Amino acid sequence: MKIIKLQHHEIPPYDLLLLADPSYELVEAYITDGECYVYKENEDIIGVFVIVPLSEVTVEITNIAVRGDRQRQGIGKKLLQEAIKVAKSSGYEWIEIGTGNSSIGQLALYQKCGFRISDVIKDFFIQHYDKIIMENGIQCIDMIRLRLEIQ
């Protein structure tokens, strides 16, 4: 499975990026600050992740998404493993990721890949998003932060 870095002249896959984060403004901000990687089949983008440095030793996966019709086929796990590999080869010691309290599948995926819960940012989604977000019948209110030591 070939995952490649999106070049500066290429248009980021906003449809996928907005699946993971409904805020266009936040997506714009972190694709400007970070690096966007895509998984393509022929010319179609099937998956994406974005990594943004937080410090000299820590990098964050700010976005990870797989096209709706290709979810639950192992692609998200492969993208996450590739993000870890990229961060490791760039010399980072820690990789972080944040998701909503209601994102049950995402929390399962991240922990299956070795991430441990490190923090909870209370009310994050109420303070930063205009609309109420519901998933799995649960309101998305708090951000669960997870991290993995990679060196």
Q: Which residues bind ligand ACO (CB under 6 A)?
A: 19-20, 61-66, 71-77, 97-99, 103-106, 108-109, 112
Report in angstroms how near the CB of residue 31 gets to ligand ACO at its nearest. 12
Does residue 140 contact residue 103 with C-beta atoms inside 8 Å? yes
Does residue 64 contact residue 34 with C-beta atoms inside 8 Å? no
Toward ligand ACO, which CB reaches closer, 10 or 133?
A: 133
Does residue 101 contact residue 140 with C-beta atoms inside 8 Å? yes
Nearest residue to ligand ACO on Cβ basis? 76
- Residue found by looking up tokens 């996928």 in the block: 16
Toward ligand ACO, which CB reaches closer, 4 or 104?
A: 104
CA angle 36, 28, 73 (to 5 degrees): 45
Report in angstroms how near the CB of residue 72 gets to ligand ACO at its nearest. 4
